[in-house]
Amino acid sequence: MYGTNSYIKRLICPRCDKKYSHETEAHLCECGSPLLVEYDIARAKSELKRPDIEARKPDLWRYMELLPVLSEENIVSLGEGFTPLLSMCRAGEKIGLGALYVKDEGVIPTGTFKARGAAVGVSKAKEFGARMLVMPTNGNAGAAWALYGARAGISVTIVMPEDAPYITRVECAAAGAELYLARGLISDCGRIVERAISKYGWYNASTLKEPYRIEGKKTMGYEIVEQLGWSLPDVILYPTGGGVGIIGIYKALLELRELGWVSGALPRLVAVQAEGCSPIVKAFNEKKAESEFYENSRTVAFGINVPKALGDFLVLDAIYSTGGCAVSVSDEEILSSQSELGRLEGLFVCPEGAALYAAARNLRAKGWIGKDDFVVLLNTGAGVKYSDTIAPSSRYLAPDAGL
């Protein structure tokens, strides 16, 4: 059984500091910024103890008090969370790292980390009495929200680019969602969704246009720290499109430090993008606080093909505040890294996850990552969801042939 004693306090705008009640449905601040959930950490620090967490069921709801759902009856779950943190000895040795780990989100329900945001986001939408959720997506988020919406008994409408991975369309269909394909990018899908919301008044589940997806994603940060015995790694690399994951992990690290559960320097956060769509990298290199729309974006890592993220300023703040960086890798590096991790570690990671290994290799070669650094890669999904990225090599045999 889960607890119901959330320490949620209010919603707050990270740009203009305006406060909002958590008891009513809210999406963006009046200034247009995403909203963040704020908790009564002082009370949590005095009442909630690490052994309480450690004794609980191994899913993301073990951190219930630091999640926004008020009533247990509104929790929508498929068993998400507490994914493995795996050592990659051979892969690490090949690029000169003695402690290289991957947190593998490919084993989570729906096959990607998007299940975390959907679990908490849909639970909160249910708590608000939502009847129809609508969102633009590059594929995996839509699949996750469609399936969790079905679990909650809430209708879902999804708009995705026509070249989104086919399997994500199948997942939406399996969940009974209304699925529309658009000719264009996720930014074009977003404009279609905004018009639908204006016309029908549906619940906006777009990235960072509801405050609760971040809360599900932040549990990756909590889990990494708990799985390391409540200690901090030196570097965390994250594939960055909309940026919710890296924003959430940074939020988790700040909350853990305020709770007094960790000490010392926070991990350097690295936002990894593809060369064909790297607005955050460009902004970082130019020392800017926000990114610009990235024209004509294209990459095999479809999940990070986001030309302009609503929360780009939050991603960049997380990078700057932790002494991290933003780097891009080529599609060729992504595909070769995907094959390499399969051969070396038996891991079939998604292209976005493979991009991290390529980035770690490059940062190690430049000396930005030291050989003794403890490095964590976040593989955000299962490679089988992008099965066309690797061409099998095989030969046909007659039934009576030998090898």
Q: Looking at residue 390, what is its pLDDT?
A: 80
Q: Looking at residue 4, what is its pLDDT?
A: 56
Quote the crossing angle between the two packed helices 140-152 and 114-127, to the nearest 10°: 40
The whole-number average pLDDT for the span 373-393 is 90
User: Would you list the DSSP string of 320-340?
Assistant: HHHT-EEEEE-HHHHHHHHHH
pLDDT tens readout for residues 156-186: 999 999 988 899 999 999 999 999 999 988 9
- The label of the residue with tokens 């000396």 reads 367
pLDDT for 208 beyond 60: yes
Fold entry, domain 85-112+214-389:
Rossmann fold (3.40.50)
Helix (H) or strand (E) holding 38, with range, is strand 36-39
Torsion over CA of 239, 193, 158 and 273, rounded to 10 degrees? -10
Q: What Cα–Cα distance (Å) separates residue 260 from each residue in 142, 223, 230, 250, 264?
A: 36, 16, 10, 16, 11
**Residue in 351, 139, 319 with CA at minimum distance from that of residue 246:** 319
pLDDT above 70: percentage of residues in the chain = 99
pLDDT tens readout for residues 12-47: 999 999 999 999 999 999 999 999 999 999 999 999
Q: Are 264 and 295 in contact (CB under 8 A)?
A: no
pLDDT for 269 beyond 90: yes
Confidence of residue 119 (pLDDT cuts 50, 70, 90): very high
Strand-pair partners of 136? 159
Q: What Cα–Cα distance (Å) separates residue 330 from each residue in 55, 165, 238, 384?
A: 43, 20, 16, 21
Question: What residue spans of 66-138 are helical by DSSP H?
Answer: 89-94, 114-127
Q: Which two tokens stand for residue 45?
A: 């620090």
Strand-pair partners of 158? 135, 179
For the chain, the average pLDDT equals 95
Q: State the pairing for strand pair 36-39/85-87.
A: unpaired
The whole-number average pLDDT for the span 97-122 is 97
Confidence of residue 392 (pLDDT cuts 50, 70, 90): confident
Quote the crossing angle between the two packed helices 331-345 and 351-365, to the nearest 10°: 100
Domain ranges within the chain, ordered by starting residue: 85-112+214-389
Q: Is the dihedral of CA 118, 122, 124, 125 positive or negative?
A: positive
Q: Which two tokens stand for residue 105?
A: 């989100």
User: Would you list the DSSP string of 283-294?
Assistant: HHHTT-SS----
The whole-number average pLDDT for the span 118-122 is 98
Confidence of residue 1 (pLDDT cuts 50, 70, 90): very low
Q: Looking at residue 354, what is its pLDDT?
A: 97
The whole-number average pLDDT for the span 333-345 is 97
